[in-house]
Amino acid sequence: AIQMTQSPSSLSTSVGDRVTITCRASQGIRNDLGWYQQKPGKAPKLLIYAASSLQSGVPSRFSGSGSGTDFTLTISSLQPEDFATYYCLQDYNYPYSFGQGTKLEIK
């Protein structure tokens, strides 16, 4: 099974900061990776699919990049509503696997 290593596990940040979260796959997964945002008590929300495609309705401050084994989610200017936990998900082959999550906290 493919292992997804996500970092950092948590990040203390401020409104307006540029934030970068990374995911590394244990083997190549082409660009079969998505990024999800989850707020407490809520279901996750799709932000990015196919590594770099922005889901409809998601603000353009979110962007994704990468291919193969290394992937990045970038939030260009953090907004108050962006404080949440973020997960990557490889959908290259089954069993799919999530990263461990990155919790963005207010500094």
Binding site for another protein (CB under 8 A): 1, 32, 34, 36, 38, 43-46, 49-50, 53, 55, 87, 89, 91, 94-101
SS3 annotation, 35-100: EEEECCCCCCEEEEECCCEECCCCCCCEEEEEECCEEEEEECCCCHHHCCEEEEEECCCCCCEECC
Among 105, 107, 25, CA closest to 69: 25
For the bound state, the minimum distance from the C-beta of residue 16 to another protein, rounded and expressed in Å, comes to: 28
Of 18 and 68, the one with the shorter C-beta distance to another protein is 68
Of 51 and 78, the one with the shorter C-beta distance to another protein is 51
Look at the block and give the residue holding tokens 């495609």: 53
Of 14 and 43, the one with the shorter C-beta distance to another protein is 43
Give the torsion sign (CA, 11, 49, 16, 69).
positive
For the bound state, the minimum distance from the C-beta of residue 102 to another protein, rounded and expressed in Å, comes to: 10
For the bound state, the minimum distance from the C-beta of residue 15 to another protein, rounded and expressed in Å, comes to: 25
For the bound state, the minimum distance from the C-beta of residue 46 to another protein, rounded and expressed in Å, comes to: 5
